[in-house]
Structure 1
């Protein structure tokens, strides 16, 4: 797996959301994507997965330009956006089977993923009946169903209770042993628990891209380091 973001710039009218972003990822790891609200994190993630059109620069995934190989790229990337769009009137297993059919995946993989993310007791319920925690699990299940090389998660534990957070983290940790995960979060304990590398974006520019220990550096905590870098 390799991902290269090369001189990526994205503007919305007069506002520059991303300014000359360069990132290189070449191995399986869990990367924490950090930044204040409005820093450009979601814009970067949506650019990588092909939701947003690239204005300037290039993104290469597994050696291929994602703009020129859009369908092939999307087959190998899983994405859980922050708002987790789901079909609330569909039943859990029905929805995941629908996603599997799009990817031409055998039904056995649906049962495997249902077990992996811990939604077996809920698989016959309508998605709209689920708690937020279980909806997040369904969203995570659709993102990993096709066994992508790269998994991008935007605030995956947002709004979950402490037990649900630990369970989702365990799933992410297990996936990160075989796949590359880019994880956007404001929860520093999550970064410390899961990530080996941190990319910090502020005002559309990368301020830090380093192993987690180097990011923390002289500071007593990740929160303190984050506040210092972005103040």
Structure 2
């Protein structure tokens, strides 16, 4: 599904990602971990075609980037940390609009895609409601629903449970687990318990480099917790201690 080889991204003279290589196979859920500034968002933006690499090779669903960016984008559904929702629209209006933006031209096709996405994300009963009236948990569901439009093979979720209450977190985690049965999912999160709960593969980034890659079982095979492995590989850095935004 995804092949990344010797990926490097510079912003001016500063390295955001340096010589990163990994692969993610079809199916399952891959956790992308790292402190702020580790390079998570940069990698996600490259995979979605919004950024170009400075050097290295990136292939998504058989499409090399940036050479076949348009074809690759059609294979990817993306939920950014701040979903681009329009609060004055109803859920139905927003999903129709998002489907049109994704190039689903026939009205009947858009209607069917929206219906399926709403059903999978538990939004059927709130389709007539204004987005501004929804709880944060339901707004996240709307964001995930738009990511499903166009039937992408790969779903990329950036901090999908941030700011949710415990009940909402459980609901979104269940939804992510369901998505992992039919899609390849990349989940970026700083919540280690979340990654441990839903992910089969884990990538750990530190200071722009890949510190570890493997299954959850492989990374914790010596009896250590994922938290202990993470803290060792990132030099004890935490989200709070870096003092900078992820790039």
TM-score by length of 2: 0.89
Alignment of 1:119-134 (within 5 A): 119-134=123-138
**C-alpha RMSD of matched pairs (Å):** 1.3
1:167 corresponds in structure 2 to: 171
Aligned 8 A contact 1:173 1:194 in 2: yes
Gaps of 5+ in 1: none
The structural deviation recorded for 1:220 is 3.6
Alignment of 1:1-231 (within 5 A): 2-102=1-101, 103-104=103-104, 105-231=109-235
The CA deviation string for residues 51-82 of structure 1, in whole angstroms up to 9 with x for no partner, is 11222112112222121111111111010011
Once residues 27 and 117 of structure 1 are traced to their aligned partners in structure 2, the CA distance between those partners, rounded to angstroms, is 22
TM-score by length of 1: 0.95
Gaps of 5+ in 2: 236-247
The CA deviation string for residues 8-43 of structure 1, in whole angstroms up to 9 with x for no partner, is 111112211000111112221100100011100011
2:231 match: secondary structure? helix
Aligned length: 230
The CA deviation string for residues 82-118 of structure 1, in whole angstroms up to 9 with x for no partner, is 1111122211111101122233143022122112111
Runs of 4+ in structure 1 displaced over 6 angstroms?
none
The CA deviation string for residues 189-227 of structure 1, in whole angstroms up to 9 with x for no partner, is 211111111100000000100110111233442112211
Aligned 8 A contact 2:61 2:75 in 1: no
